[in-house]
């Protein structure tokens, strides 16, 4: 499943003690500048959130680096991709890389492509399980009739790009199973265009009917922030639904900086922006 490589790997092999201390120190230093509200928060409380989020990321990264990847199940009734850095392909309209906040970070390019390809692989695997056949034998038509929908909240650039990607004959996911949207309700009764992960989570739109299991696809560090945001904005998830993160490996160039960036985002969401909870939404990894 997905595009990961290598076999099992321990947390100790992911980050040595010096790297962990560097990540934590950088989070504390940068967050103090970015989130002045932290000055009024007990240090132990902040440390506990940082430690928990970092532990989640390391746990997800262990799963992401396993071969085979974690299992998926036939009761998966929806797959969610929270859009990320980079274009799916610069060989498809508009034939350029995505203009996003991560453009200055070469290691971030391609993260969006990995998310979409992993979600497509999950949809194919789930369809195969439902039909009792190997995933490599599953056709596009069978996914159309029997597969779970892929939910994809996006901005206008991403919507235009994915429309052209889905039109390609080589794309395994049929258009009727790839449900993307660009607007969410605002507090004044109107709508606003999606701009960031907080918008994607707060305005999450899921299909009607029973949702036994929802799989969320993203890189390990991003998944942690999503789950803290879902702790705040959980109104769209039915209480009995199993939420299963499907982590993708952090690009090697972002091994240290990406967890730091996402945990700084968690702290800002909790104490400054009111877009995250102090605890993540309950989830089931496997």
Is pTM beyond 0.85? Reply is yes
Structure confidence at residue 9 (pLDDT):
39
Structure confidence at residue 12 (pLDDT):
52
What percent of the chain lies above the pLDDT cut of 90? Answer: 87
Write out residues in the chain with pLDDT < 70, as ranges.
1-13
Residue 40 CB: number of other CB atoms within 10 A?
Answer: 7
Structure confidence at residue 11 (pLDDT):
52
Structure confidence at residue 2 (pLDDT):
37
Structure confidence at residue 68 (pLDDT):
84
């Amino acid at each position: 499943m997905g595009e990961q490589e290598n076999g099992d790997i321990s947390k100790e092999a992911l980050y040595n003690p010096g790297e962990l201390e560097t990540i934590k120190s950088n989070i504390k230093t940068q967050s103090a500048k970015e989130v002045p509200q932290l000055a009024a928060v007990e240090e132990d409380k902040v440390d506990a959130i940082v430690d928990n989020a970092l532990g989640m990321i390391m746990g997800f990264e262990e799963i992401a680096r396993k071969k085979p990847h974690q299992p998926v199940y036939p009761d998966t009734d929806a797959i969610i991709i929270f859009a990320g850095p980079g274009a799916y392909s610069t060989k498809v309209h508009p034939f350029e890389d995505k203009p996003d906040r991560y453009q200055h970070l070469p290691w971030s390019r391609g993260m969006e492509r990995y998310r979409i390809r992993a979600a497509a692989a999950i949809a194919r695997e789930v369809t195969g399980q439902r039909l009792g056949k190997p995933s490599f034998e599953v056709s596009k038509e069978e996914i159309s009739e029997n597969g779970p929908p892929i939910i994809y909240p996006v901005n206008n650039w991403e919507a235009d790009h994915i429309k052209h990607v889905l039109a390609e004959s080589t794309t395994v996911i049929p258009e009727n199973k790839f449900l993307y949207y660009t607007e969410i309700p605002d507090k004044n009764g109107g709508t606003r265009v999606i701009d960031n992960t907080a918008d994607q989570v707060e305005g999450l739109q899921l299909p009607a009917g029973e949702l036994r299991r929802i799989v969320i696809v993203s890189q390990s560090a991003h998944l942690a922030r999503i789950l803290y945001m879902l702790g705040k904005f959980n109104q769209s998830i039915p209480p009995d639904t199993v939420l299963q993160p499907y982590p993708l490996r952090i690009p090697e160039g972002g091994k240290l900086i990406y967890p730091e960036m996402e945990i700084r985002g968690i702290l800002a969401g909790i104490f400054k922006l009111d877009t995250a909870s102090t605890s993540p939404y309950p989830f089931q990894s496997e």
